[in-house]
Structure 1
Amino acid sequence: MWTADVCSNHFWALIEQSLQVSTAKDERVAFLKARLAQESTENIAAIMVCLDDHKERLNTWDMYGAFWYLFQVGSMDSFSAFQSWLVGLGRSKYESLAAGADNVTELSEIRGILEARTATEARDPRGVTLFELREPDFSELDSLVYHAYIRSGGKEDALDDLYAVAEVAYSAVQPVGEEWDISDIDEVRRRLPRTYEYMTRLRQRYRPTEA
């Protein structure tokens, strides 16, 4: 059954083990599917709650604002997939992000994606969307845990009680915290100063020079 200990130990052990196997998404998915097939229905349910519990800590307006500002993507589905991707980076990096959304551009994985996109846009005036390059998306993590639960004999209607006991939102949608206009550049600069400064420097670096 769900306990805080499961979240702090067993869940993160699975994530870290998958990272040791490979950084490639498809290989990590295959590993996690195989590992979850060995777990009991109760343990898989607990892992599902743990995943949503950790995503809930990232589901803030500040993180949503950072996601929008960096990637110009605003759908809730994409933001949820981004949260899963951040969880998938491992416990240490996750904890730094849960401590504050403005830490997001400290991650080498984030910088690698942003630099690739910005360099491509500088070469091609038509530009390129982030998702045409490398996606900060690990929505497969959510689906593989859910399907492992169902395959093990778990029942959908049993999840409501489990999430209620754990005091975790099931499939949370709207960000929490103080709502603000994420399209307002002055608000971004005020609330996420390091994120704003990083992107300003990055765009200046790749700004086309006049002949």
Structure 2
Amino acid sequence: MARYTGPKTKKARAFGEAIYGADKSFERKKYPPGQHGNGRRRKQKSDYALQLMEKQKAKYTYGVLERQFRNLFDRANRNDGVTGEVLLQLLEARLDNTIFRLGLAPTRRAARQLVSHRHVVVNGVVTNVPSCQLRPGDTVGIRGRSQGLEIVKDAVGAKSDVRKFGWLEFNPDTMEGKFLGYPEREQIPEKINEQLIVELYSK
């Protein structure tokens, strides 16, 4: 399965945000990476550079490669509604992202691994496609014999007090969640300027 496997902190520093979650290394060096450190005067970025960076930030945040991302944008562009908002809704509706949001995995990367290793069921059927698009009403959970996995138990215990996503329901007893519907833009916590992405692809 193709995915980004390079240094996470370096990417986070390039975008100026801890896009992969809490990161002590990022907190120590919040300036962009490079051999000249923080002392080098950096040129003001062009509009194109800002648009490209925003698109790259969204890609790396959700763990999506270029072709997948472009396909999602084209789908969002065909759908009714504001294209940028629909794009983020489609990214949030991905199976791996939903597993992460439900607190069944500590990171999106870990969620993707759970799915690809056949530990996840959607509507009672084992699914191993992380990019699977959920629809309102779909139920998602950890299959019975996989609920004892250390990574799942640790994640559920750690995140039991922070499940605050209004478009999801979660039952810790059955380790099952429900995708209630697509979130509104203000409900999505990611700091992404989706309008810049739309402008980039509209050139």
TM-score over 0.5 for the pair: no
Which structure has more strand as a fraction of its residues? 2
Which structure has more helix as a fraction of its residues? 1
TM-score of the two chains, using structure 1 as the length reference:
0.28
TM-score of the two chains, using structure 2 as the length reference:
0.28
Greater RCO (CA < 8 Å, at least 6 residues apart): 1
